[in-house]
Amino acid sequence: MLEKRPLLPDALICGTTIRLVALEATKSKWTTVLVGARPGRYIIVEMPKVAGGPVKLDDGSLWSVNFISKGSVYSFQTAVEGYTYRLAPLLFLAYPREVEVTGLRTEKRYPVNIPMTMNISTFPRGAENAEQLMAAGPVKALVVDLSESGFMMASPVPLPLECTIEATFYLPREEVMPHIKSVVKACRGKPGSYFMGMSYLPGGGVGSLERLRDLITSIENMPLRL
């Protein structure tokens, strides 16, 4: 359900991933991190990076912003109000009068404990360490909850928003479920332990999503969780 309301400070959690999309002809897209805010005045984010260096967005340029906090997607329009390099490369964005808030959890999620491996398929523009992660091969992770629209995974490495992966789930009784394609919609955590909200993408292996729905049905009917 979509609603419009003021942006309350408790939704602004330092370290939250922020996605910026230009509202001008270039339609540039960047991913950055929330540093802080002065409610009613401005929001502070790290300057986006490309090839390891900061990218200063033009003063007065208009941007669409979205981020995920406490199970909801927050979206609003803003303008760049300034920048600083004094302690770190930071951007100041105008604080919105109101934001659009959409709840994420429209479907029931079930706690599970399913080993998985993933291969990174694509990274958004400007993502750091993209080449190294794609060259590293399969990454071991763990599915910790499951729904008909996506899953939450625990991973030793972070992935940026809109990064896509192809995963293999290793179910009980040695059943292997390959070619599950999904996209990162949320990421939080600390080095060595990250939790990522994933949304399924079409085009996975034959029957993979159908088998996942069967699995969810069986979990609903089990007295114990996987």
pLDDT for 225 equals 44
d(CA 32, CA 46): 6
User: pLDDT, tens digit, for every residue of 122-138?
Assistant: 887 766 677 777 777 78
Rounded Cα distance, 215 and 126, in Å? 37
Q: pLDDT tens digits for 70-100?
A: 778 899 999 999 999 988 999 999 999 999 8
Whether the per-residue pLDDT at 2 is higher than 70: the answer is no
Is residue 147's pLDDT more than 70? Answer: yes
pLDDT band at 221 (very low <50, low <70, confident <90, very high): low
| Confidence band, pLDDT 50/70/90 cuts, at residue 158 | confident
Distance of alpha carbon 81 from alpha carbon 58, whole angstroms: 9
pLDDT of residue 25: 65
Q: Which domains does the chain have, with CATH numbers?
A: 2-103 (2.30.110.10), 110-220 (2.40.10.220)
Among the listed residues 123, 124, 125, 126, the one whose alpha carbon sits nearest the alpha carbon of residue 54: 126
Taking residue 82's Cβ as centre, other Cβ atoms within 10 Å add up to: 13
Q: Residue 215: helix, strand or coil by DSSP?
A: helix
